[in-house]
Chain A
Amino acid sequence: MIEVHHLTKRYGRVTAVDDVSFRVERGEILGFLGPNGAGKTTTMRILTGYMPATDGRATVAGYDIFDKPIDAKKRIGYLPETPPLYPDMTVREYLDFVARLKGVPSKEKKERVTSVMARTHVADMADRHCGKLSKGYRQRVGLAQAIIHNPEVLILDEPTAGLDPKQIIETRELIRGLGGDHTIVLSTHILPEVAQTCQRVVIINKGRVVAVDTPDNLTARLKGAETMYVQVDSGGADAAPVLSALPGVVRVAPSEQRGTLAGYEVESERGRDVRRELARSIVNRGWGLLELRPMRMSLEEVFLQVTTEEIPEETPTDPGAQGSMDPRTEGEVPVA
């Protein structure tokens, strides 16, 4: 649906986007991840025909954005970083104008405006001036504007920026609901958002693509072996020898101790799930098994790792990479 070939954009001497290539399949939701200033917005602006690239090609919905901009633009809905609202227009007037601008037939226009307002939950503000809307509403009117002509491709630049947690969840659900019918590219620097909404992730840093994969694979790829966190109430006994004796366990590292409670990081052979054995042996000894969970490298760490150092295409086998892992709560932690 979207094909990007060796896209490069230079502003004078600064190279904002450097030889970027990727594909997005029909109905897919692609996350575009990168620190601020990585070239996300520039790439999106090129894809939407807002600005031409210095070099390379981009095809959207089968139309080259440089050779056939009008045909391509008809099939693109775009939400820029700042929602492009006219403060003097009411929400209804605004959406009506955008519908006309995007070529929605006048017969369907009224119905489209009503349905997108309902879909983006802005119907209660229909007759309010855009300039008087709160940030959350502005963002959602921006989204309404992007989907008004029912485009095949949606390009959303930080669609959840500035929303409160409830609105963020609603917006993500809306985006997930739009996937399937629409091909979506969304940019963000909030990592859990990618894990929750996207099927595939492109990580971009300093204008270059540093990784393309599914969120799950990305986390798995950067982690050599599987690591479990186990918390045991062993009544004071050291559980480490018992755990390391289990088949498939490579290494056991005690991580914390509180009274009779002890936590361990248990590393197993790659691709081998040792949770059943772990649980059985602990319970059989009469100890209390209080916690058992896989310690995945969160996307945040993946992200930091790929954006601070160029990862090779192969899986890194450096065991030190795992030693630096710590179970971190997945929150809305904006990186960079």
Chain B
Amino acid sequence: MRNVLTLADKELRSYFSSPIAYVIIGLFALLFGYFYYAYLYIFIRSSAEMMQGGGRAPNINQQMIASVLQNSAVIILFVMPMITMRTYSEEKRSGTIELLLTSPVTDVQIILGKFFGAMGLYVAMLAVTVLYIAILFWFGNPEWRPIAAGYLGLLLMGGCFISVGLLISSLTKNQIVAGILTFTVFLMLWIINWIGESSGPTTREILNYLSITEHFNDFARGVIDTKHLIYYLSFITFGLFLTAKSVDSERWRG
């Protein structure tokens, strides 16, 4: 555990001692802010219309926050390759991987260190957006529980992206290649169920199940379903397991 913390700490420091962390957090905050503003605007207009019509005020959780969180899932998909692409490839290129692999730590500890380091940056990214949501509490009274569920979903989904990103980064020395590949795979995992629309019910079920973002929809609505929890957790575990295999086979090939 101490080793994992040491490595995670090092990863996190290396993000923040280079411009990467600031660029990513800034970019994410900007895009999140845009969606936040857009959906808030729509929400205010529609609630004003509904109030005029004598109806009840719409639910801010369902009408606005869920949509913002769903859209931020897409931003994360674009931003995440920038976080993970250098994790292994940079160590391989600069030769620092030799230090890690000859230190008294196991491969799994190294991988977990990198995973939690990247998660740390991701949490920092999400933390900024919590400020936006906090403003809603200032002027209105949204439910906090669905929001918490939404953030839990974001964390788990991000974890999946990170585990895939680590795997791809461990396959190449070139971080640009790693970045592009990661982005392509993320995109595939997002849109994989689109072709399901025109296919049979079984295929559609399977493709829907594979799509990372599809599983997030319930979280965004504030529902914590064990089906999705299991999907995300097993996805993360499997990704990290494959990374361990990749690192190990790299050793054998030299």
Contacts and interface: CB of A to CB of B under 8 A. Distances in A.
Interface in B62-106: 94-106
A43 interface: no
B251 to A, nearest CB: 5
A76 B102 CA distance: 8
A98 B3 CA distance: 11
Interface residues of A, number: 34
B14 A80 contact: no
A194 B89 CA distance: 35
B17 interface: yes
B7 A101 contact: yes
B254 interface: yes
B250 to A, nearest CB: 9
B46 interface: no
Contacts of B98: 45, 50, 78, 80, 84
Interface in B203-238: none
B106 A70 contact: yes
B18 interface: yes
A262 B99 CA distance: 58
Contacts of B251: 50-52
Q: How large is the interface on B (under 10, 10 to 19, 20 to 34, 35 or more residues)?
A: 20 to 34
A328 interface: no
B99 A145 contact: yes
Contacts of A52: 251-252
A89 B3 contact: no
B121 to A, nearest CB: 14
Given A82-B95, A88-B18, A145-B99, A103 B252 contact: no
Interface in A270-322: none
A85 B254 contact: no
A127 B131 CA distance: 35
Given A89-B17, A101-B3, A101-B105, A51 B254 contact: yes
A88 B16 CA distance: 10
Nearest to B98: A80
B2 to A, nearest CB: 8
A84 B99 contact: yes
Interface string B101-139: 111111000000000000000000000000000000000
A48 B254 contact: no
A273 to B, nearest CB: 48
Given A49-B101, A101-B3, A89 B14 contact: yes
Contacts of A51: 251-252, 254
B7 to A, nearest CB: 7
Given A51-B254, A89-B17, A73 B6 contact: no
Contacts of A103: 104
B19 to A, nearest CB: 10
A70 B99 CA distance: 14
Contacts of A78: 98-99, 102
A242 B254 CA distance: 63
Contacts of B145: none
* Top-8 shortest CB links A-B: A84-B99, A73-B104, A84-B96, A48-B102, A88-B17, A74-B104, A82-B95, A80-B98
11 contacts: A45-B98, A45-B254, A48-B102, A50-B102, A52-B251, A73-B102, A74-B104, A78-B99, A84-B94, A100-B2, A100-B6
Interface of B: 2-3, 6-7, 10, 13-14, 17-18, 94-106, 251-254
